[in-house]
Amino acid sequence: MSQDQASKKDPDTQPISLNNPDFYINREISHLKFNQRVLLQALDYGHPLLERLKFLLIFSSNLDEFFEIRVSGLFSRIDLEQERAGLDGLPPEEVLHKISEMCHPLVEQQYKILNEQLIPEMQKENIHFVRRGDWSDAQKDWVKTFFKENIIPVSSPIGLDPAHPFPLLVNKSLNFIVSLEGKDAFGRETGLAIVPAPRSLDRVIRIPDELCEGGDNFVFLSSMIHAHVDSLFPGMTVKGCYQFRITRNADLDVDMEGVADLALALRGELASRRFGRAIRLEVADDCPDALIDILLEKTKLDRSNLYQVNGPVNLKRLMRIPSLVNRPDLSYPSFTPGIPKGLRDRKSMFTSIAKKDYLLMHPFESFTPVIDLIRQAAVDPDVLAIKQTLYRTGDNSPIVHALLEAARNGKEVTAVVELRARFDEEENLALAAELQAAGVVVVYGVVGYKTHSKMILIVRREGKKLRRYVHLGTGNYHVGTSRLYTDYSLLTADEDICADVHKVFQQLTGMGKIERIKRVLNAPFTLKAGLIELIEQEITAANAGNKARIIMKANGLTEPDIIHALYRASQHGVSIDLIIRGMCCLRPGIPGVSENIRVKSIVGRFLEHTRTYYFANAQPSIYCGSADLMERNLNRRVEVCFPIQSSSLANRVLYDLEAYLEDKSQSWVLGSDGEYTPQTKRDLDDGVQNRLLQSLKN
């Protein structure tokens, strides 16, 4: 009997409970494994030097958000005595312990990579971070003048005494704890002060070229403050100055029950994000224990939440470096995105889309046709109405400008603005106000459900009839990220899909019962059930002796019902390939449960953002969507998952999926032990990689 035959038979003869915690990977641990894979890109010599620096800084930014949202959530569960474990069986206390065990070596390796590899390699390329001990006399004079003219006027040092208790410091702000000796003008002798670094100043400042011997030369703001902190405390002696940073709970907690005005409630909550509960303390590694103990006491944290770092505590601010140096040879080569032949004549997007569907894959294909569609709709006298969801748009968005123009031209324009797009809430509040001022009807979706779907609906008069045109995407209406993320855009005039999108907008802006939708799967109503039904079709095909196969590509897989369905499919012999970039709670390769499932993660130049689902026995067989396979997306968000009905376009997407599966340059394979193994080491520094991988076992 073959393995596949055995796996088909086992569910009937030897049923296995799929609720065994050993069958699941903790989502927080899986999230950290993803961040580990991002960090390891900084060691991959297949990437240009400045891109390797970016990966290191992306890791830092990801880790910040992980603490602000995920770790703070675990703290809250413990505070509220919500100790119930997840599918993996780990209670919050144990998860926090494992996070601490993993994060400390990760952070240590991050700074080793920066100090021992990236900075020396940048020096070889004549990009220098000039340390205080290496300043020339002329540079010292310039720093002193800069400090006097730019830092002192906006600095507010805080001496600690009964009248000046430990300040409530802004989330992730750069600060210094200073030990002092002597008495001040009022005779106070407290011995301690806090110096918040001015938030208005860059953390990395370019030294004037005439003061250097060539190349690009930078100095850290923290170095300037260290060098001249004594001038902030005249007449006193500075005994020590050490940088630190506090990470706080940044998850907004808006009570949705009884909210009369979501925008007003969100504005009130945004202010508290900067001063939430302390979650993590980062300090310079040379800071004395006595001062560390004071900081821990004031933040109500223990040593497991302490990270002592050998370098700047706010590494994300180094992200400006690539734009401050003119070194295209140290970055990815630029390329020009293509445009399908039928969309190159941009006189009438409507004529082109009316003839056939178009599927664009960004950034390899340009986002320009999507912008052209909305721009033409704004000025076309035959266009009567435009409806669009907006989650993230970016600054100076051409999409937003087109909506504003459409409203001024008398079109019926409706924008569903998601105010709770994480860390873009403030921008979206301003966006909503701008749209309303121009006459756009702005709604905020449905309270309790984030509107994460990416939809444009255009209604146009053509002769005596009204015709609808639709854009559906897997990414955001953000021109910048369309050049950085891989995403699909579908442009269609298909009557059924357009009618479905119209009904989804009706659900968002109006009230009423669930309407029957023909082609599109939408959360929170039909998407999860629809995906499970498609998985069950493959099980039926396998049981009938037919070839059965599933390919799913998403950013995360954590939803229990989807995982159970995939386990059942594997037990019945369905061949399953999962391309999951980030979190994956499914454990592949378990005998009798998931031996027919393979999981890989791709981390490379572009953020692999497409959500694509293939079912060999379905018609249509390909779906793309805005939703990941996670609880929040399938149960608590408004999402759309749309079929690719054109056989040529579906074959193209399947070809893309197969290319991902064949990739061995940027791929990591998930084992049944929960560990990821690179399919090839390329030019990775094996010594550092092996140390890092070894330190993160278990």
Q: Which residues are catalytic?
A: 452
Q: What angle do CA 128, 133, 138 make, to 5 degrees?
A: 75
Residues with Cβ within 8 Å of residue 550, at least 6 apart in sequence: 535, 538, 566, 569, 574, 575, 576, 577, 613, 614, 615, 616
The full DSSP string for 468-486 is: EEEEEESS-S-TTGGGTEE
Q: How many helices (H) and strands (E) does the chain have?
A: 21, 27
With contact defined as beta carbons under 8 Å apart, do 627 and 558 qualify? Answer: no
Burial bucket for residue 56 (CB in 10 Å: 0-12, 13-18, 19+): buried
With contact defined as beta carbons under 8 Å apart, do 103 and 305 qualify? Answer: no
* Calpha distance 55→604 (Å, rounded): 9
CA end-to-end span of the chain:
35
Furthest C-alpha separation in the chain: 90
User: What amino acid occupies position 657?
Assistant: L
* Calpha distance 106→99 (Å, rounded): 10
* 338 closest CA partner among 302, 370, 363: 363
* Calpha distance 41→21 (Å, rounded): 31
- Residue 81: CB atoms within 10 A of its CB come to 8
Q: Which helix (H) or strand (E) holds 417?
A: strand 412-417
* 682 closest CA partner among 694, 669, 667: 667
Asked if omega into 363 is within 30° of 0 (cis), the reply is: yes
> Cα separations (Å) of 399 from 380, 393, 413, 468, 473?
16, 8, 13, 19, 14
**Pairing relation of β-strands 465-473 and 450-451?**
unpaired
Q: Report the 3 state secondary structure along 389-439.
A: EECCCCCCCHHHHHHHHHHHCCCEEEEEECCCCCCCHHHHHHHHHHHHHCC
With contact defined as beta carbons under 8 Å apart, do 24 and 87 qualify? Answer: yes
